[in-house]
Amino acid sequence: GIQVEQSPPDLILQEGANSTLRCNFSDSVNNLQWFHQNPWGQLINLFYIPSGTKQNGRLSATTVATERYSLLYISSSQTTDSGVYFCAVSQTLPNQAGTALIFGKGTTLSVSS
Amino acid sequence: DGGITQSPKYLFRKEGQNVTLSCEQNLNHDAMYWYRQDPGQGLRLIYYSQIVNDFQKGDIAEGYSVSREKKESFPLTVTSAQKNPTAFYLCASSIWTQETQYFGPGTRLLVL
């Protein structure tokens, strides 16, 4: 099956710093999503980005599908950015039943004031 | 407000007991999913359902069961056959023709 690896596993930042999170995947994928899991466990969709670059406020993401990686950029980090960031790629389910997500183990970000 | 709700927020299971986790969505999504998350790990797929009265096993279905009698509801039962049930359980849904999944707030299951 598809393998998804994220780096770094942990990241500690001072408020205002910038950071780059990386996601490598082992096979061609049709879809890649970035999620933020807050300290209460809620998963929030950040980007649906099978290829190209997208930006949303202080966050942006780039996926280079031909080289099998994606990057999540966080600029001017804030304490509310703390949590776990997951990358997930789609796996086609048997019997054309749609797709399920294969998750990496995440990057835990801690932003201090 | 449209969204996905899960209940309870915390659930305690005694040895040999079956427990059921609730997942309800009012997004009119066709597909629903159950994932399990262990500490320091990503999410792993337990079961999924594309349409009412149909569901399929995911990667770690042993010790779990589901039903899909209504489009809005996809309850997960953790049976006594699941020997290590302590985890965070997340339910998700999506439109069948799209791949973006939306997640509920989760249920934490602990064994007494």
Number of CB pairs < 8 Å for A and B? 56
CB contact under 8 Å between B45 and A100, yes or no, is: yes
Q: What length is written for chain A?
A: 113
- DSSP state string for A47-92: EE-SSEEEEETTEEEEEEGGGTEEEEEE-S--GGG-EEEEEEEEEE
User: What share of chain A has pLDDT > 70, as a percent?
Assistant: 96
Instruction: Tokens 């262990």: give the residue.
Output: B38
pLDDT band at B100 (very low <50, low <70, confident <90, very high): confident
Residue B85 pLDDT class (50, 70, 90 cuts): very high
Average pLDDT of the residues in B44-62: 92
CB contact under 8 A, B105 and A41: yes
Most confident range, picked from A47-51, B38-42, B94-98: A47-51
Say if the Cβ atoms of B42 and A104 lie within 8 Å. Answer: yes
Q: Cβ–Cβ of A43/B99 closer than 8 Å? A: no
- Three-state DSSP state, A96: helix
Chain A: give the shortest CA distance to residue B91, in Å: 10
Q: What percent of chain B has pLDDT over 70?
A: 96
Tell me which chain A residues have a C-beta less than 8 angstroms from the C-beta of B102: 45
Per-residue confidence at B16, pLDDT binned at 50, 70, 90? confident
CA distance A75 to chain B (A): 24
Q: Supply the mean pLDDT for chain A.
A: 92
Residue B95, pLDDT above cutoff 90: no
User: Which residues lie across from A47 on neighbouring strands?
Assistant: A34
Res A97: pLDDT: 62
The residue of chain B nearest to residue A96, with distances taken between CA atoms, is: B50
Question: What is the pLDDT averaged over residues B87-112?
Answer: 89
Taking only the tens place, the pLDDT of each residue in A71-101 is 999 999 999 999 999 999 987 777 666 677 8
* Window A:39-68, CB contacts with B under 8 Å: 40-43, 45, 48
DSSP per position, B11-35: EEE-TT--EEEEEEE-S--SEEEEE
How confident is the prediction for chain B on average, in pLDDT? Answer: 92
Enumerate residues 81 to 110 of chain A having a beta carbon within 8 A of any beta carbon in chain B.
86, 88, 90, 93-95, 97-101, 103-106
Model confidence at B98, pLDDT cuts 50, 70, 90, reads low
A7, A91, A93, A95: best to mutate for the B interface, most B CBs within 10 A: A93
Mean pLDDT of A11-27: 96
pLDDT at A96: 62
